[in-house]
């Protein structure tokens, strides 16, 4: 499965510390290599942030899936991401 970041998600991602960036990349890479990546995701009730989220420690990656591509729409700390 392919992964793409929106412009805003990329900006948010670049602001994170390098160790957190590596952790997020590693986890998203692991999830996308699985047969069913949605097994590791949770559905989001507020769809303006995307339809699903990956939990990566205290960080969240909000995303949508279309045509075997995961579009990450938002990345951030769990205390800030839902605002």
Q: pLDDT tens for residues 1-51?
A: 899 999 999 999 999 999 999 999 999 999 999 999 999 999 998 778 889
Containing domain of residue 52, as a range?
A: 2-77
Tally of domains within the chain? 1
Rounded to two decimals, the pTM is 0.89
pLDDT for the residue 46: 79
The set of residues, in sequence order, having a beta carbon less than 8 Å from that of 38 and lying 6+ positions away, is 52, 65
Q: Which alpha helices (DSSP H) does the chain contain, by range?
A: 7-15, 18-32
Q: Indicate whether 66 belongs to any domain.
A: yes
Q: Indicate whether 22 belongs to any domain.
A: yes
Q: Indicate whether 10 belongs to any domain.
A: yes
Q: Indicate whether 82 belongs to any domain.
A: no
Q: Are 74 and 42 in contact (CB under 8 A)?
A: no
Q: Indicate whether 25 belongs to any domain.
A: yes
* 23 three-state secondary structure: helix
Q: pLDDT tens for residues 44-76?
A: 987 788 899 999 999 999 999 998 899 999 999
């Amino acid at each position: 499965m392919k992964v793409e970041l929106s412009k805003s998600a990329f900006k948010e991602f670049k602001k994170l510390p390098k160790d957190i960036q590596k952790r997020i990349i590693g986890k998203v890479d692991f999830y996308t290599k699985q047969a069913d990546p949605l097994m590791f995701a949770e559905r989001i009730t507020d769809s303006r942030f995307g339809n699903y989220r990956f939990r990566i420690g205290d960080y969240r990656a909000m995303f949508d899936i279309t045509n075997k591509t995961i579009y990450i729409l938002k990345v951030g700390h769990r205390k800030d991401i839902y605002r």
